[in-house]
């Protein structure tokens, strides 16, 4: 059999519970069947378009009659959930099944594996970029989810380093070699020998658009506000609000051993002081953790599990989620200067406005007496307005007086940079499949100080982990590129010989051309 034979991809099956028939003992246990991969070790990682080349060797201890040799590349996801009565239920979804064609000339005649003779059957697979459309045919809420479900998921649960996956969810890729025999014509086929070889797959992925997060998405905390006080019973110094911006993706190398570059992020801060004399806080430290969330189910998942309420949705099958965290290396940050702005209320009182309606920072000089006088005047106007409002609302017992706020506020954007702890953990890319999903969140703790007072702001932001795309090395003996194939097809069409034939009788010895008669 030629070593460059191509593999064919067959349809994937629907999620089905695992059965006990897969654990039957095979006959001929002393026979030796092995799957051998070229240039393969336990730490080898395969990515999109990676070749999987090797051979299957079979050596028997006695003559064995058979009908066919089967070599498969199988990808499957597996989940285990506990039913209401405490009985575990195992579910397997075969999402990829590629069969290597074996020509008839490779088989011995007659089809008997002779004692002591070693038979070799080469194979050549290529890790696909996508699954077939038959890999996912269940109802779902959006086409965008379908696009995710037909992407190749990464291996999960079988890495040398911890990939933060639970025992209840697995994604496996395996080369399987089988010797098949059909004792009776039209009867069932028996697997008399079988060998397997696991693969670690990290498929390439693309950057997804930022998530549209609402208050219903409880997995994330994009914004947090806190009152700042010197002590618990002290007067309020102001209100600090931190708002996180979804960072760009954390891009891994194709072998998963490191990151292409650190990831950048931003945190917007807003401080509303109770007095104009209160300075804005100072960022003293940023600490981060990354959390891996693995969602799994005994049935197909019709929506994105990280959006909304995963465990509160009404479904007819069991669901689960496993979350764990890992500390990030020190997060680097550089404090930026605060910008001072005038509140819209103070601007209306003072008659100050802009043509475009946006708030502009005033020219504030602490050494200028005129600025102090203007501030004092605005504060007097604000007191008079507050007095009028309190008089109007005194008849209502439910109204509460709010402490006067300063007519200014401060804003800044904190730039951060972080990396994943790839030396300690194995990070697989973010993915969504029919019964298993993996997403990540970035948990940031921001420490700020005003004098001797410190506050910690906590945010939970979405983070996509992806794998870079590495095009396969060019092979002069391999398939041509798409552009080359198109050019060759156009040339073949131009040089294709025309079919000539004798004209019909009605057009002979006349000057009338076919199709142009009167």
Contacts of 212 (CB under 8 A, 6+ apart): none
Handedness of CA 449, 453, 454, 455 (dihedral sign): negative
Beta strands in 157-299 (DSSP E): 169-181, 190-201, 223-229, 236-245, 250-252, 263-273, 282-297
Contact by Cβ (8 Å): 286, 333: yes
Task: Supply the pLDDT for residue 6.
Answer: 40
Average pLDDT over residues 167-179: 96
C-alpha Rg value of the chain to the nearest Å:
34
pLDDT digits (tens, 9 = 90+) for 277-329: 889 999 999 999 999 999 999 999 999 999 988 876 556 778 899 999 999 99
Task: Supply the pLDDT for residue 18.
Answer: 47
Task: Supply the pLDDT for residue 19.
Answer: 42
| DSSP H or E run through 455 | strand 453-463
Contact by Cβ (8 Å): 401, 308: no
Q: Are strands 250-252 and 465-467 parallel, antiparallel or unpaired?
A: parallel
Contacts of 93 (CB under 8 A, 6+ apart): 12, 13, 14, 15, 16, 76, 77, 78, 433, 434, 435
Q: Is residue 223's pLDDT more than 70?
A: yes
Give the three-state DSSP class for 492. helix
Task: Supply the pLDDT for residue 346.
Answer: 54
């Amino acid at each position: 059999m030629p070593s460059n034979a191509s593999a064919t991809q067959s349809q994937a099956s629907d999620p089905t519970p695992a059965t006990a028939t897969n654990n039957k003992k095979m006959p001929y246990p002393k026979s030796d069947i092995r799957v051998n991969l070229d240039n393969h070790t336990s730490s080898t990682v395969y990515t999109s378009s990676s070749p999987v080349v090797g051979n299957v060797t079979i050596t028997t201890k006695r003559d064995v009659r058979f009908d066919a040799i089967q070599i498969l590349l199988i990808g499957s996801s597996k989940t285990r959930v506990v039913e209401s009565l405490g009985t575990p239920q195992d579910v397997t979804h075969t999402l990829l099944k590629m069969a290597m064609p074996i020509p008839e000339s490779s088989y011995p005649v007659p089809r008997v594996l002779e004692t002591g003779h070693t038979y070799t059957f080469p194979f050549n697979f290529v890790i696909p970029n996508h699954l077939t459309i038959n890999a996912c045919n269940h109802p779902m809420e959006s086409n965008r989810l379908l696009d995710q479900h037909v992407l190749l998921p990464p291996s999960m649960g079988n890495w040398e380093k911890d990939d933060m996956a639970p025992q209840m969810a697995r994604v496996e890729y395996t080369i399987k070699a089988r010797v098949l025999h059909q004792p009776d014509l039209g009867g069932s086929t028996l697997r008399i020998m079988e060998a397997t070889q696991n693969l670690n797959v990290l498929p390439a992925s693309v950057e997804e658009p930022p998530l549209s997060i609402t208050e219903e998405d409880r997995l994330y905390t994009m914004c947090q506000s806190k009152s700042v006080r010197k002590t618990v019973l002290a007067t309020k110094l102001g209100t600090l609000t931190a708002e996180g911006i979804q960072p760009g993706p954390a891009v891994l190398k194709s072998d998963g051993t490191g990151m292409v570059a650190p990831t950048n992020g931003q945190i917007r801060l807003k401080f509303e002081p109770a007095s104009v004399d209160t300075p804005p806080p100072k960022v003293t430290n940023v600490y981060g953790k990354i959390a891996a969330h693995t969602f799994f189910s005994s049935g197909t998942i019709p929506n994105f599990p990280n959006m909304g309420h995963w465990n509160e949705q009404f479904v007819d099958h069991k669901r689960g989620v496993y979350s764990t965290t890992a500390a990030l290396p020190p997060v680097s940050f550089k404090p930026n200067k605060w910008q001072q702005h005038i509140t819209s209320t103070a601007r209306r009182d003072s008659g100050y406005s802009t043509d475009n309606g946006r708030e502009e920072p005033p020219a504030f000089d602490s050494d200028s007496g005129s600025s102090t006088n203007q501030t004092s005047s605005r504060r007097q106007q604000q007191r008079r307005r507050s007095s009028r409002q309190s008089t109007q609302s005194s008849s209502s017992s439910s109204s509460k007086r709010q402490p006067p706020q300063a007519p200014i506020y401060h804003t800044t954007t904190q730039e951060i940079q972080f990396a994943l702890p790839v030396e300690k953990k194995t990070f697989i890319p973010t993915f969504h499949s029919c019964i298993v999903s993996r997403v990540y969140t970035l948990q940031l703790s921001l420490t700020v100080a005003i004098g001797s007072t410190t506050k910690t702001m906590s945010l939970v932001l979405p983070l996509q982990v992806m794998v870079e795309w590495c095009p396969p090395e060019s092979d002069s003996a391999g398939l041509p590129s798409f552009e080359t194939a198109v050019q060759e097809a156009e040339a073949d069409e131009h040089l294709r010989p025309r079919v000539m034939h004798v004209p019909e009788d009605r057009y002979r010895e006349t000057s009338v051309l076919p199709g142009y008669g009167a």
